[in-house]
Amino acid sequence: MEGLATPATEAAKYSSAFLGPRISYIVHYKQYAEDLSNKVEDLTSTRNDIKGRVETARRRGDTVYQVVERWLKKVDKVLTDAIELKTKASGIDSSFKGWGGGRYKVGKRSQKTFVTVTELLNEAKNLNDVSNPAPIYDIELMPTEDFEAFESTKSAMDLVMKALTNDKVSIIGVHGMGGIGKTTLMRKIGHQVKMNKLFNVVVMVSVSQNHDLKKIQDEIAEELCLSFGQERGDLRARKLFQRLKQEMRVLIILDDMWKGLDLMEVGIPCGEHHTGCKVVLTTRRQDVCGTMKTQANVRLECLSEPDSWRLFQKNTGSEVDSSDLNKVAKDVAKECKGLPVALVTLGRAMRDKDQNAWQNVLEQLRQSDYFTYIEDMEPRVFQAIKLSYDYLPTDETKAVFLFCCLFPEDHKISTDELLRYVMGEALVGNINLKQAKRKLQTVVDKLTSSHLLLKGDRDGYILMHDVIRDVSIIIASKEHDFIVRAGRGLEAWPEKEMLEKCRRLSLMSNEVTDLPERSECPNILTLALSRCQSLEIIPESFFEGMTSLVTLDLSHTPILSLPSSLACLENLRTLCLDGCSGLQDVSLIGKLNKLEMISLKKTSIKMLPVKEIRGFTNLKLLSLES
């Protein structure tokens, strides 16, 4: 009957439905394998792109999303299966070999894998972001116990906090004399707003006199765990801008500003660009606040007499309460003019001193005829810090202190870095490297306990307060023939007349390009040209007039070769070429047989004069880390 299906017809339909795909797998296995191969190429390219973004994120310290990690694992498995299928498909090379089971399996697995690959490619379209920004490790803010809540600082702190909670204020200026405690105040405020969750991110960077845009961006980026890669100029600013906008509430503290700074040029969004971003700047110059169009200004005043005495007494110890010393000690404290940095350093220097010493210090403070004028500083304040230096226990301690002023303002000085200068001029005697490190650390500890040096917030480095550095440069230049021009943005080599008596010259972190053919520096012992990023060529005869040189630092400069006159430096004991990435030939080192410290980290050097170096009887360090 019409319309009625017989068992035979039903069986035929079932067989067709069952056998049709099986036959297709067998007949079209090669096409399925080719289609899969083409799709796999797309997946491989996508996988490589995402993997590159993941690796970049990991270098920044970002947290890679788990969904991305799982996707990459699935892709790796699928690609492994696809390679296996391609191998099996290529092994079926005749109409008989692989007929049936082999072709069927390849065809079926190819089509199934094709579907999986397509799904993975679709999933990849949703993986625009592969990671969360790295957790931000804020500046190590000054411990609370180091902050003295005096009347003036408490008042200033209250005013800054009020401005920070005002939604209509985005830029705040804090101004006052150098050494009055602006940096310490802002570290305390940064700590407090972080603890109170007023801001989820607090970043503090030092701007200093010759503000370097790239350096400022790098320091902010470092605190944000942001990497610029190869970006330059506007691209850096845009990347930083976007990164800061990812934070709901962010506080940027720009410390020690001497002139105006274009926040957009740096990459700092605030005001209409990001209402959750606030900027606080500290400066010695009130007019900088006007240039920056601050909406709230706070002046930090000097300490009152009672507060000055309290801080001074804390650092001298209880002996100043005795009847013999109390009056003269109070007079000495008054001469510090309410400036915390002077009160602390001189107070610590006067611990355990007798009445004659106290009387002598008071007389010297009242004379104050040693120093020339330096902006925003009274001579007596400088004299107080100079006296702290005078009371250091040994000549080598004084020498190490002065050598710290060779580095640019706010430079994080590592003890290893300082050691090379100390060893060059044999400031700690003719001892082995291990002994020298121990001795230097003892000296550094003495200087930090005297508050003439500051301990860094991490990594074991040391810093110099900018006011103390100003004083140390004056002492070094007047009494020890230093010329310090580090970090000034200079392009020219100093005049010949300046160099005739010079014994230590620092031009670190400048834009010096052209050096003289021969520089007459007959008395020079130490020359520091580190981080002069424009210095590519040193004239062949340059060192001929420097035969007394014992320390030469050319680290982190783009020099491509060493001049032949390097061989004239027969007294050289320390040579630093770290970070000279373009330098390949250092064979001239073999002629400098008095070398004790050779540092060649992160260079492109292909060969060393090994035979000659083995003959250096005084060699204490040869650093070749890549």
pLDDT for res 103: 65
pLDDT for res 15: 37
472 in a structural domain: no
CA-closest candidate to residue 396, choices 434, 431, 350: 431
pLDDT for res 79: 82
Domain shared by 93 and 157, yes or no: no
Q: Tell me the C-alpha distance between 266 and 237, whole Å.
A: 5
Domain shared by 310 and 459, yes or no: yes
Domain shared by 179 and 164, yes or no: yes
CA distances from 234 to 69, 206, 240, 485, 492 (A): 33, 21, 10, 29, 28
Domain shared by 397 and 486, yes or no: no
Lowest mean pLDDT: which of 110-124, 248-262, 598-612?
Answer: 110-124
> Given a cut of 60, is residue 420 above it in pLDDT?
yes
Query: Do residues 192 and 164 lie in contact, with contact meaning Cβ atoms separated by under 8 Å?
Result: no
> Given a cut of 50, is residue 50 above it in pLDDT?
yes
**Mean pLDDT, rounded, for 6-24:** 44
> Given a cut of 50, is residue 19 above it in pLDDT?
no
For residue 106, give every residue at least 6 positions away whose Cβ sits within 8 Å of its Cβ, in sequence order, or none: 25, 29, 32, 33, 85, 88, 89, 92, 98
3 in a structural domain: no
Instruction: Name the pLDDT band for 453 (thresholds 50, 70, 90).
Output: very high
DSSP assignment letter at 248: S
Lowest mean pLDDT: which of 218-227, 343-352, 407-416?
Answer: 218-227
DSSP assignment letter at 607: B
CA 63 and chain centroid, separation: 22
Q: CB-based burial of residue 567 (10 Å sphere; 0-12 exposed, 13-18 middle, 19+ buried)? A: middle
Instruction: Name the pLDDT band for 4 (thresholds 50, 70, 90).
Output: very low
CA-closest candidate to residue 258, choices 204, 205, 210, 203: 210
Domain shared by 376 and 331, yes or no: yes
Q: What are phi and psi of 230, to 5 degrees?
A: -95, 5
pLDDT for res 247: 85
Q: Tell me the C-alpha distance between 264 and 446, whole Å.
A: 43
Examine the fold and report which residue of 299, 328, 350 is the final residue of a domain before the chain moves on.
299
Domain shared by 356 and 267, yes or no: no
CA 264 and chain centroid, separation: 21
pLDDT for res 54: 83
Q: What is the pLDDT of residues 608-621, one digit of tens each?
A: 888 889 989 999 99
Q: 379-390 vs 340-349: helix axis angle to the nearest 10?
A: 30
> Given a cut of 80, is residue 81 above it in pLDDT?
no
pLDDT for res 228: 81
Query: Do residues 289 and 281 lie in contact, with contact meaning Cβ atoms separated by under 8 Å?
Result: yes
> Given a cut of 90, is residue 603 above it in pLDDT?
no
Looking up tokens 């009387």 gives: 359
Instruction: Name the pLDDT band for 14 (thresholds 50, 70, 90).
Output: very low
Q: Tell me the C-alpha distance between 161 and 180, whole Å.
A: 19
Domain shared by 288 and 163, yes or no: yes
CATH number at residue 284: 3.40.50.300
Q: Tell me the C-alpha distance between 330 and 298, whole Å.
A: 29
5 in a structural domain: no
Examine the fold and report which residue of 88, 107, 132 is the final residue of a domain before the chain moves on.
132
For residue 507, give every residue at least 6 positions away whose Cβ sits within 8 Å of its Cβ, in sequence order, or none: 485, 486, 490, 493, 494, 528, 529, 532
SS3 296: strand
**Mean pLDDT, rounded, for 28-54:** 77
Q: What is the pLDDT of residues 188-232, one digit of tens each?
A: 999 889 888 899 889 999 888 777 888 899 888 887 878 887 777
> Given a cut of 70, is residue 109 above it in pLDDT?
yes
Q: Domain count for the chain, please give it.
A: 4
Q: How many C-beta neighbours within 10 Å does residue 268 have?
A: 25
Query: Do residues 239 and 226 lie in contact, with contact meaning Cβ atoms separated by under 8 Å?
Result: yes
107 or 579, which is more confident: 579
> Given a cut of 60, is residue 372 above it in pLDDT?
no
Lowest mean pLDDT: which of 103-117, 342-356, 552-566?
Answer: 103-117
499 in a structural domain: yes
Beta bridge partners of residue 201, listed in sequence order: 250
Q: How many C-beta neighbours within 10 Å does residue 451 have?
A: 21
Domain shared by 114 and 213, yes or no: no
Query: Do residues 512 and 489 lie in contact, with contact meaning Cβ atoms separated by under 8 Å?
Result: no
139 in a structural domain: no
Query: Do residues 464 and 345 lie in contact, with contact meaning Cβ atoms separated by under 8 Å?
Result: no
Helix (H) or strand (E) holding 155: helix 151-164
What percent of the chain stands above pLDDT 90?
A: 44
Instruction: Name the pLDDT band for 141 (thresholds 50, 70, 90).
Output: very low
340 in a structural domain: yes
620 or 116, which is more confident: 620
**Mean pLDDT, rounded, for 529-548:** 94
Domain shared by 288 and 312, yes or no: no
**Mean pLDDT, rounded, for 475-504:** 92
DSSP assignment letter at 525: -
Q: Tell me the C-alpha distance between 133 and 126, whole Å.
A: 18
Query: Cα angle vertex 286, ends 283, 289, to 5°?
Result: 80
Instruction: Name the pLDDT band for 26 (thresholds 50, 70, 90).
Output: low
Contacts of residues 106-109 at CB distance under 8 Å and 24 or more positions apart, as own/partner, are 106/25, 106/29, 106/32, 106/33, 107/24, 107/25, 107/26, 107/28, 107/29, 107/32, 107/33, 108/25, 109/81, 109/85
pLDDT for res 143: 43
- The token pair at 360 is 């002598």
pLDDT for res 18: 40
pLDDT for res 419: 94
Domain shared by 111 and 239, yes or no: no
Q: Are strands 131-132 and 63-64 parallel, antiparallel or unpaired?
A: antiparallel
Domain shared by 113 and 193, yes or no: no
Domain assignment of residue 293, given as a range = 144-299
Lowest mean pLDDT: which of 22-31, 152-161, 503-512, 569-578?
Answer: 22-31
pLDDT for res 102: 62
Examine the fold and report which residue of 299, 329, 348 is the final residue of a domain before the chain moves on.
299
CA-closest candidate to residue 506, choices 372, 407, 385: 407
State the chain's mean pLDDT as an integer. 84
Q: Tell me the C-alpha distance between 342 and 334, whole Å.
A: 11
351 in a structural domain: yes
Domain shared by 338 and 384, yes or no: yes
Helix (H) or strand (E) holding 201: strand 201-208
474 in a structural domain: no
pLDDT for res 144: 43
In this structure, which amino acid lies at residue 571? N
Q: Tell me the C-alpha distance between 123 and 334, whole Å.
A: 73
Looking up tokens 């001239």 gives: 588
pLDDT for res 399: 96
